[in-house]
A and B are shown apart, each in its own frame.
Chain A
Amino acid sequence: MKKIQHWLLLLCLLPLAAAAQQRDTLPPTPAEEDFSEYENLGFADEAAKRYCSPKILDLSPTRFVSLGWDWQQPYQAEFSPLGAFAGDDSPAPAETADFQATQGLRLSANIPVISRNSFVWQMGANFWNINYNGKIQTENQNAAGLTNRLFTRGLRTAGINTTIFKPLGEKQFLLLQGAADLSGDYTFSEFQSLRYLRYSGALIWGKRPHDRLQWGVGFARTYRVGELNYLPVVLYNWTAPNRKWGTEILFPARAHVRRTFNARSLLLAGYELEGQSYRISNLSDAEQSLEIRRGELRGRLEYQRQLGGFIWMALQVGYRYNYSFNADYLPNDGQEFFRGFFGDQRYAMLNTLTNGLYVNISVNLVSP
């Protein structure tokens, strides 16, 4: 019994000896270190690598959660009858209306799924609602009743998106974005089939030569001009050496010049293209889906300010230029087609909206 106890004692004392050894090899206390040697250090793990960051200095904060309200100044609309029109046709309007109030809630969330030096993957979801209110001015027997439909149902879009940032070493990266959006006049009790999802995405290769510059080139499939298009994209995020100015550009989707006042407030000036393809259910049938190809160019000033902690507010004031409110029939119950800038497929409706001011205000939970 005594021998067992002696061996047990020895086993228990071994960690004591090991710890004593380890203490000798722990990093030395401050007094024994030569701080000028911090220049001449290398990775303890020889396989370790450095990776470029997805951000540069002073970019406007990334938003985890955003809750906003969008409002447009009153404007006039003219909608053609249903038909088959060439892009340069000028059909007489079948209905005209004054749109007094165009406004709605905008919600979005972006959550990091994987967030590491060598790989960043983010998933997001968004919901935008547009309520229309106003007065029909004229309506003839050929009118499709689009105005009334917009006044009674409004339009909404719900989508999910994903972004992957993959550094290729210290200076180069790949950025991949994808989204699926469901847009139309549906309500939650009369939901829209997922067959009408519209897909968009972009792939960018880029370089980050230093902490104040990030640029890239790539290709996108987009609905930002209202209908499906394939476009080259240019990324150019830059911050001036004095840290007061910068650019945040993802052309052609958006481009801004940034003025940074301090770590808690900034001003952006520029534009953004918005667009979706909205299905109008009462003008669609089993054969074809009628979809409004809504595209807007929004020039604006945007002031962003920290309210407290990680809560920021953003106020946009700008001018909405209507790029497109035309409608297409998508055959085979919603099969997408590509017109691009040179296609000659006919439009189901040719519609115009006058332009006007808009205001957007949001409260945002921002990311580290």
Chain B
Amino acid sequence: MKKHTLLTLLALFFATFLTAQSESDKLVGIWEPSNGKARVKIEKIADKYYGKIVWLREPIDPVTNVPKVDKNNPDESMRTVPLKGYRMLKDFVFKGSGEWADGTIYDPENGSTYSCVIKLKDDNTLDIRGYVGVKALGRTDVWKRLEAKK
């Protein structure tokens, strides 16, 4: 009797744990921001979620004729970091209810880092809100999930 109760409790624990894990991993995948200029791969590293640019619509800088780099980074020593592979989403933690927060989003166009919160609207849609200080002072961009063309 005691063995069965223990087994049941253990199973309940794992079931809850695994459901939460699969919910949090819904963020993982390839996504496209609304402007279609890049594609971002979101993956999990050490319990947090990070996104890196894996494709650029215009990968070559028309001025320098070489692959684009992070030329607007406030740290001059980091201005040779290539944009392809750039980690623009960092440190997101799953908060439950389809929300990931405590992260930042970097805009290579102006070298600014914004606080950010991500909400899963449905399995194929993200609301990515970058903001300055408070969420009201921000902008939401809708990202769409990508998959291999059928």
Interface of A toward B, CB cutoff 8 Å: 2, 5, 8-9, 12-16, 18-19, 22-23, 26-27, 30, 35, 37-45, 48, 50-51, 53, 57-58, 64, 111-112, 115-118, 170, 211, 241-243, 262-264, 309-310, 365-368
Contacts and interface: CB of A to CB of B under 8 A. Distances in A.
Given A64-B137, A115-B139, 19 more contacts: A8-B11, A12-B15, A13-B11, A16-B15, A16-B18, A18-B22, A27-B30, A38-B30, A38-B54, A40-B149, A41-B39, A42-B149, A44-B145, A44-B146, A45-B124, A263-B109, A264-B111, A367-B138, A367-B139
B47 to A, nearest CB: 16
Given A12-B15, A16-B14, A368 B147 contact: no
Nearest to A243: B63
Nearest to A310: B132
Interface in B1-47: 4-5, 7-8, 11-12, 14-15, 18-19, 21-22, 25, 28-30, 32, 34-37, 39, 43
Contacts of A39: 55
Nearest to B144: A48
- Top 4 nearest A-B pairs (CB, nearest first) are A38-B55, A12-B11, A41-B146, A117-B34
A310 B124 contact: no
A57 B61 CA distance: 14
Contacts, number: 140
B102 interface: no
B80 interface: no
Interface residues of B, number: 57
Interface of B: 4-5, 7-8, 11-12, 14-15, 18-19, 21-22, 25, 28-30, 32, 34-37, 39, 43, 54-55, 62-63, 72, 107, 109-112, 114, 122-125, 127, 130-133, 136-142, 144-150
B140 A51 contact: no
B8 A12 contact: yes
Given A5-B8, A115-B138, A241 B62 contact: yes
